[in-house]
Structure 1
């Protein structure tokens, strides 16, 4: 649709022209009206219409004076003159200003339609020529940029001026739209950015491998400028429904230096997984994840993959979303401290989650069904663009799992502990470990436990393990197998504990049970 501005000092004529023609059917849309020459010039500056229809005689500036001033300013677009005077001199002067048509008042609808059709054909031709010239200019500009970035070619100032690349400063900005189909989308994304820069005239868009590059003629120096650029770009690319990541290299004074700016932006986007803010990323800024240990949190020295796996399983087993959140926070701190790469982090967290789900599936048939369903969802972790998104996705999945299992909110902490110990006697359980799991001080938790059960934690744990050992021995397992399954690494220690508890050795107990079965 071509835009139209109607200018006439008579309100009835302005409104009549808006309604007499089905503008959309003719390929136009009326964007505004003006009542005098001064207003016409102001609105033309603001709206830059494709076609201006204006009365030749108006108070103040006449229609011809309006056209003369706009043409002197280099304004393009078509003009259609309306006049109540069949004055040939006016017509000749109007033609000298490049007026597209001249109609007498009162306007005849058929004549108006003929003029609009003729002017539209002219606008179509101009648009086609402009598009070809624009495409040609863009091609050559991209060629200049790519020859510098990848070939180190030096261009003379005359050539840079010819392609409108002779600027006072330059900055390379790279855009990544994270999507599995980003390869197909890159042409569409590039077109969206070209349209944006066509309006702002602030830079040139070029292809940069898997990224879309923008060479800016005015670097983004301040955080406010960078945030504005990010917001504007992400809004335009919103229809792709994918996360947008943008990084900028240093601003430089000479076009030969844009390779430095480009390399810096590439390096930043290669670290995209650790981005923690939605803005244009630049070097020497604290945008990456930094997770110092807060007062009261568990030290990282004792953390390892096995401990995190166990704690994650405990969170699922006791249905604790609070513990789930804490253990994922510990995982984030731990891997950042260890300096793992994106690929390593995704492998580790997926393995940890899978092992925790597998342990949960062994608790009961109900947990097995739910755990199996959620194991299939772990592949989504590999598709997350950032570490924050990765942890958020896993926390959401496991929170839903806990919800399906049912939260034990009515049970006391000690009851939960007892049930937990009975389900997991073979784990390397210590009061300190469970205190961390249930988020209690270990000494205080020990007192609560003894008050509730009448026994210390270690005595109760030994009893649970001995009862489990009896059932395993009755199944015919060997003594070292039973010792391992109930959490005693030292077989001799298990032998001593069992004999003290039952009065006979483990092997003797198993033999007695066999005799009774005969």
Structure 2
């Protein structure tokens, strides 16, 4: 029968063995007499005298000691007695050249598992070692089960503390806290979130994965609460180790695909009584709501950080949406990345100062981006392919964890639009864009003074190049385009004349009739009856 034990991860885990005998050949023989690994043991060391044996038992804490009684320096029985007095709880198998009853009695009194005489019988030794391995295994299973029960009780009480209102949970006695492994001099709640944003490897990273590299498992409690992990650090030592952890997170430059780059922690103040944990937890929970505004590369936010002091200053100003939309359109029309970057910096400063609700900011920015998309596609239909669909835009902005990620999304896509515009910098290309815009929007209240800055010109210069490129001034071109459309509608004979005037951008039917007569030499009604309209 193979006695190899395995840990929680399925890896081989051997018990430790110390061999103590003053004769080299016997020590070496005991190492080879049986297959120790098959029986579940690894030889951790050996000792040639009593002093060495006593020191190695204290330092190595072996699970089993093979002890020769007649050792130089300190007698084997005294080594066993002193080890027990110093707290050693492992097993001893005594080996001696004598079968003296007095020695056997003393050995049993000190908890010796068995008493074997030299020369050692191989089968008898193997049988005793198997029995020791089985006994250790049972004890550890029982101890682990009890620890798990206590740990569950501690975790359940922590959950009750954070879920219920402060002051409604009865504070346990010292004895009860000790039984749940919750009695300590300091407590500190920590909230842990793991998120994914555009990650090729979506690895879920848990609190235990991080904390177990810095502290023992019994130094904290961990529960899942509202989709996030809540941790209760127990004791000053755990608090000190956590400070090392958060300093490491702050100092380390994460690779973009590292699981650690998806980690975010908040923590409340350390408190001295279990009853104060709820209030500290609420502070950590509030800080988690500020994660959206954290800087790039920031993975920790605590009650003692500067950002924790910022508070919301009110509602978002809807008028800024129109201002920023026009600003980005100007940046695209002018091919100016600098202008777009300045707008993004202005937006970041505004949102950081306001600290509005995360949901409201996402909605605001989604609307802004969709309006920019609509305006750009209206100006340049051929650039629709540069945008995602409306559904994908909403999904992308909604999935970003931080404000800076949404602004980066704006920067990348508007930058692509600006680069595309930059490939059309000639006057002829620009004028084709202007005429295309007029052709689709002639029914609107278009004016040279408002159209010029949209395409990156001042109005005086724009008027000159417009006349040079088209052979007529802006107003004449616009009226000619409107009259051309009105002729088409008159030929269709589906609308009344006043309706055609409105559809073509004329404020009233009299003005329309006057302009139509100027261009066509007849009134709209006469045109409708003329052979040309047939």
TM-score, length basis structure 2 = 0.63
1:123 is aligned to 136
For 1:128 and 1:162, the matched residues in 2 are separated by 19
CA distance 1:378–1:75, change in 2 (3 Å): farther
Range moving further from structure 2, 309-318 or 103-112? 103-112
Question: 1:304-350: per-residue Cα shift (whole Å, max 9, x none)?
Answer: 11232344456667777665554443333344455531111111222
2:303 is aligned to 283
2:190 is aligned to 173
Gaps of 5+ in 2: 1-5, 7-12, 198-203, 311-315, 490-498
1:74 is aligned to 87
For 2:474 and 2:53, the matched residues in 1 are separated by 90
CA distance 1:204–1:103, change in 2 (3 Å): farther
Correspondence for 1:348 among 351, 364, 369? 364
Matched, 1:329 2:345: yes
C-alpha contact (below 8 Å) 2:192/2:264 kept by paired residues: yes
Matched, 1:260 2:269: no
Please tell me the root mean square deviation across aligned C-alpha atoms, in Å.
Answer: 5.8
Shift of 1:379: 0.9
For 1:364 and 1:464, the matched residues in 2 are separated by 20
1:212 is aligned to 229
Shift of 1:129: 0.8
2:172 is aligned to 155
C-alpha contact (below 8 Å) 1:414/1:449 kept by paired residues: no
SS at match of 2:307: coil
Shift of 1:133: 0.9
1:136 is aligned to 149
Question: 1:195-250: per-residue Cα shift (whole Å, max 9, x none)?
Answer: 67971643333454444332222285899546148689xx9xx9978833322222
C-alpha contact (below 8 Å) 2:18/2:43 kept by paired residues: no
For 1:349 and 1:47, the matched residues in 2 are separated by 62
Matched, 1:243 2:257: no
Question: 1:40-76: per-residue Cα shift (whole Å, max 9, x none)?
Answer: 8888778766x45667588888887776665444355
Correspondence for 1:271 among 277, 283, 290? 290
CA distance 1:195–1:450, change in 2 (3 Å): same
2:492 is aligned to none
SS at match of 1:287: helix
CA distance 1:336–1:230, change in 2 (3 Å): closer
Matched, 1:402 2:416: yes
Matched, 1:380 2:399: no
CA distance 1:156–1:449, change in 2 (3 Å): same
For 1:13 and 1:59, the matched residues in 2 are separated by 15
Question: 1:24-47: per-residue Cα shift (whole Å, max 9, x none)?
Answer: x6656x596577788888887787
CA distance 1:141–1:451, change in 2 (3 Å): same
SS at match of 2:306: coil
Matched, 1:358 2:370: no
Question: 1:429-464: per-residue Cα shift (whole Å, max 9, x none)?
Answer: 4666666xxxxxx9xx899989998989xx987688
Shift of 1:135: 2.0
CA distance 1:87–1:303, change in 2 (3 Å): farther
TM-score, length basis structure 1 = 0.65
CA distance 1:111–1:339, change in 2 (3 Å): same
For 2:340 and 2:61, the matched residues in 1 are separated by 58
C-alpha contact (below 8 Å) 1:160/1:166 kept by paired residues: yes
Q: How does 1:181-220 map to 2 (within 5 A)?
A: 189=206, 199=216, 201-216=218-233, 217-218=235-236, 220=239
C-alpha contact (below 8 Å) 1:303/1:334 kept by paired residues: no
C-alpha contact (below 8 Å) 1:274/1:289 kept by paired residues: no
Gaps of 5+ in 1: 181-186, 291-299, 436-441, 485-490
SS at match of 1:74: coil
For 1:513 and 1:6, the matched residues in 2 are separated by 112
SS at match of 1:247: strand
CA distance 1:373–1:123, change in 2 (3 Å): farther
